[in-house]
Amino acid sequence: MQQTVLPAACLSGAITLPGDKSISHRYAMIASLAEGKSTIRNYSTGADCHSTLGCVQALGIQVEEEGTTVTIHGQGLHGWRKPAGPLDAGNSGSTIRMMAGLLAAQNFSTTIFGDESLSRRPMARIMKPLAEMGAKVEGTALPGKEAQYPPLTIHGGALKAIDYTLPVASAQVKTCVLFGGLFAEGQTVVREAMQSRDHSELALKEFGADLKVSKGVITLQGQPTLTGRELMVPSDLSSAAFFLVAGLLVPGSHLVIRNVGLNPTRSALLDFLVSIGAPIKILKIESTNGELIGDIEVRHAAVKGGVIEGAMAAALIDEIPVLAVLGAASEKGLIVRDASELRIKETDRIATVADNFARMGIQIEVTPDGMVIPGNQTFKAAAFDSFGDHRIAMAFAVAALRGDGPSTIDNADAASVSFPEFWNILDQAAGR
Ligand code: S3P
């Protein structure tokens, strides 16, 4: 699908976005292993979280959907059944990497595969700890590369508790190990030097697991009884990022984004925006199922620009494409370092940002682990391509709002991976 995006006069009003992708995956997976029924409200409408639901159903768990409320009839820790065929993770790295920890502990073998993009994403990062736990996971080789890519065939069996230090800051890998640890006897320990999002820790506790966190060390007691629960998913801050940047970029804008997840391991985005001069306010804040949730207000303003590096680069990794767009309009520009993980996301996001910048006449210098974007650049209308990546589709839709005429985005339907309502909400905010 090709989408046309017109320059916006201003963005205004109060908008509500779909449920958080990271939290939805975790609630669905854990609920499927809990005893009894869980009801999850505001479940993500994105295709990725529906890939997770599809996998859970294929494993014999009853799932009902009514609007954005999902009911999962968990059968306990040992309630999954061998699926009739391979599991389809679609475009979703979270589905394949987190489910792998659970599949590794089953008394059957499973194959899990994904689309073309997922089939190029590295899985050694989960295969290594799972092998230490005693699991046998076979990956597929790509030409000239080791056999670490999907499809994965996971030969399930008894797992050992391990003490694992994460070599990369990755919440997906952390979760994979903790999920395997649910089935192991004794304590599984995961150590992280740089804090990654902690939704799994909060969700496991919420379902009744015995889990402790102290100074980057997570200790999980194996073989807990998890209990079905009523849960509410906050709206996705990573989806809100597109509207925060759009509000900053388009003169006259004033937006309120309701009920957004404000978990401190995700909200570095807000800290960064405020640090470069963005007038962003949190209007209310409360806690639901251990997660913070609140309303965010943004108004148009010129921002200074800045540097994203180190722990900040890890914390902002999903938001960097749209922050790059903001950087080009900022006073001093944006430098991104220490973000080589961008190269192994749904696309190589350093390359796909640079390609789209070239189309709109924006200068960028690409580096192995980041980019240097001069500030004060003029945005021209362009024919963009998402390259099948949801965050690239939405980042350049935001850029198009500042264009000097209508822009187009090819493969715009990629946005549905995390945010199917994006185009409608954009029209609503632009008063169209
Ligand atoms: C996610 C973790 C991050 C992030 C991804 C979602 C999660 O990936 O980029 O969009 O829900 O745990 P990594 O674990 O690869 O850093």
Task: Check whether residue 7 and residue 33 sit in a common domain.
Answer: no
Domain boundary among 220, 250, 269: 220
State which residues form the domain around 423: 3-18+235-429
- Rounded to whole angstroms, the Cα distance separating 270 from 273 reads 5
Task: Check whether residue 187 and residue 288 sit in a common domain.
Answer: no
pLDDT at residue 362, rounded to an integer: 98
- Rounded to whole angstroms, the Cα distance separating 132 from 200 reads 21
Which atom in ligand 1 lies closest to the alpha carbon of residue 345?
A: 9
3-state DSSP assignment of residue 88 = strand
Residue 225, domain member (yes or no): no
Q: 197-256, pLDDT tens digit by residue?
A: 999 999 999 999 999 999 999 999 999 999 999 999 999 999 999 999 999 999 999 999
Query: For residue 50, how far is its CA from the centre of ligand 1 (angstroms)?
Result: 17
pLDDT at residue 320, rounded to an integer: 98
Which atom in ligand 1 lies closest to the alpha carbon of residue 25?
A: 11
pLDDT at residue 93, rounded to an integer: 98
* Confidence label for 6 from pLDDT (cuts 50, 70 and 90): very high
User: Reading across the β-sheet that carries 69-75, which strands appear in turn?
Assistant: 62-66, 69-75, 35-41, 230-232
Give me the phi and psi of 293, to 5 degrees please.
-145, 140
Supply 6's token pair: 């017109």
pLDDT at residue 78, rounded to an integer: 98
**Average pLDDT over all residues of the chain:** 98
pLDDT at residue 308, rounded to an integer: 98
Task: Check whether residue 389 and residue 323 sit in a common domain.
Answer: yes
Q: Give me the amino acid identity at 222.
A: G
Please name which of 208, 299, 293 lies closest in space to residue 256, comparing C-alpha atoms: 299
Residue of 115, 318, 389, 413 marked active site: 318
pLDDT at residue 282, rounded to an integer: 98
Which atom in ligand 1 lies closest to the alpha carbon of residue 97?
A: 14
pLDDT at residue 244, rounded to an integer: 98
Q: Do the Cβ atoms of 234 and 23 come closer than 8 Å?
A: yes
Q: Do the Cβ atoms of 21 and 416 come closer than 8 Å?
A: no
Task: Check whether residue 162 and residue 206 sit in a common domain.
Answer: yes
Query: For residue 29, how far is its CA from the centre of ligand 1 (angstroms)?
Result: 16
Residue 326, domain member (yes or no): yes
Report the chain's C-alpha Rg in angstroms.
21
Q: 138-157, pLDDT tens digit by residue?
A: 999 999 999 999 999 999 99
Query: For residue 94, how far is its CA from the centre of ligand 1 (angstroms)?
Result: 7
Threshold 0.75, pTM exceeds: yes
Supply 187's token pair: 């304590």
User: Reading across the β-sheet that carries 407-410, which strands appear in turn?
Assistant: 3-5, 407-410, 383-385
- Rounded to whole angstroms, the Cα distance separating 164 from 166 reads 6
Task: Check whether residue 72 and residue 172 sit in a common domain.
Answer: yes
Q: Please name the helix (run of DSSP H) or strand (run of DSSP E) that holds residue 148, with its range, or none.
A: strand 147-155
Residue 228, domain member (yes or no): no
CA angle 228–240–312, rounded 5-degree value: 95
Q: Give me the amino acid identity at 234.
A: P
3-state DSSP assignment of residue 352 = helix
Residue 229, domain member (yes or no): no
pLDDT at residue 321, rounded to an integer: 98
CA angle 359–313–50, rounded 5-degree value: 75
- Rounded to whole angstroms, the Cα distance separating 260 from 282 reads 10
Q: Do the Cβ atoms of 395 and 421 come closer than 8 Å?
A: no
Q: Is the peptide bond before 151 cis (omega within 30 degrees of 0)?
A: yes
Q: Do the Cβ atoms of 375 and 333 come closer than 8 Å?
A: yes
Task: Check whether residue 184 and residue 247 sit in a common domain.
Answer: no
- Rounded to whole angstroms, the Cα distance separating 159 from 341 reads 29
**Distances, alpha carbon 191 to alpha carbons 17, 122, 147, 177, 369, in Å:** 33, 21, 26, 11, 24
Residue 227, domain member (yes or no): no
Query: For residue 169, how far is its CA from the centre of ligand 1 (angstroms)?
Result: 9
Task: Check whether residue 388 and residue 306 sit in a common domain.
Answer: yes
Among protein residues, the one whose CA lies closest to atom 11 of ligand 1:
22
- Rounded to whole angstroms, the Cα distance separating 149 from 147 reads 6
Query: For residue 210, how far is its CA from the centre of ligand 1 (angstroms)?
Result: 24
From the CB of residue 214, how many other CB atoms can be counted at a distance below 10 Å?
A: 7
pLDDT at residue 319, rounded to an integer: 98
Domain boundary among 193, 220, 247: 220
Domain boundary among 220, 251, 283: 220
Residue 71, domain member (yes or no): yes
Q: 165-202, pLDDT tens digit by residue?
A: 999 999 999 999 999 999 999 999 999 999 999 999 99
Task: Check whether residue 71 and residue 83 sit in a common domain.
Answer: yes
Q: How far apart are the first and last CA of the chain?
A: 20
> What is the CB < 6 Å shell around ligand 1?
22, 94, 170-172, 175, 197, 317-318
Give the residue, out of 22, 97, 341, with the most ligand 1 atoms within 8 A of its beta carbon, to mutate for a pocket test.
22
Query: For residue 33, how far is its CA from the centre of ligand 1 (angstroms)?
Result: 22
Residue 282, domain member (yes or no): yes
**Distances, alpha carbon 282 to alpha carbons 47, 266, 269, 285, 296, in Å:** 29, 15, 13, 7, 5
Among protein residues, the one whose CA lies closest to atom 16 of ligand 1:
170
Residue 410 sits in a domain of what CATH number?
3.65.10.10
pLDDT at residue 13, rounded to an integer: 98
- Rounded to whole angstroms, the Cα distance separating 224 from 205 reads 10
Which atom in ligand 1 lies closest to the alpha carbon of residue 170?
A: 14
Task: Check whether residue 11 and residue 78 sit in a common domain.
Answer: no
Per DSSP, helices labelled H in 63-107 are 93-103
Question: What's the domain count of the chain?
Answer: 2
pLDDT at residue 262, rounded to an integer: 98
Task: Check whether residue 214 and residue 270 sit in a common domain.
Answer: no
Which atom in ligand 1 lies closest to the alpha carbon of residue 314?
A: 16
**Average pLDDT over every residue of 300-306:** 98
Return the beta strands (E) in 175-226 as ranges: 187-191, 211-214, 217-221
Give the residue, out of 291, 317, 322, 394, with the most ligand 1 atoms within 8 A of its beta carbon, to mutate for a pocket test.
317
Could you give the percent of the chain with pLDDT greater than 70? 100
Q: 16-72, pLDDT tens digit by residue?
A: 999 999 999 999 999 999 999 999 999 999 999 999 999 999 999 999 999 999 999
Task: Check whether residue 265 and residue 162 sit in a common domain.
Answer: no
Task: Check whether residue 31 and residue 14 sit in a common domain.
Answer: no
- Rounded to whole angstroms, the Cα distance separating 430 from 6 reads 10
**Average pLDDT over every residue of 369-398:** 98
Q: Give me the amino acid identity at 211.
A: L
Q: Do the Cβ atoms of 250 and 10 come closer than 8 Å?
A: yes
Told to judge if 318 belongs to the known catalytic residues of this protein, a careful annotator would answer: yes
Residue 39, domain member (yes or no): yes
- Rounded to whole angstroms, the Cα distance separating 340 from 317 reads 10
Among protein residues, the one whose CA lies closest to atom 10 of ligand 1:
318
Give me the phi and psi of 248, to 5 degrees please.
-70, -35
* Confidence label for 121 from pLDDT (cuts 50, 70 and 90): very high
- Rounded to whole angstroms, the Cα distance separating 77 from 183 reads 8
Q: 407-428, pLDDT tens digit by residue?
A: 999 999 999 999 999 999 999 9
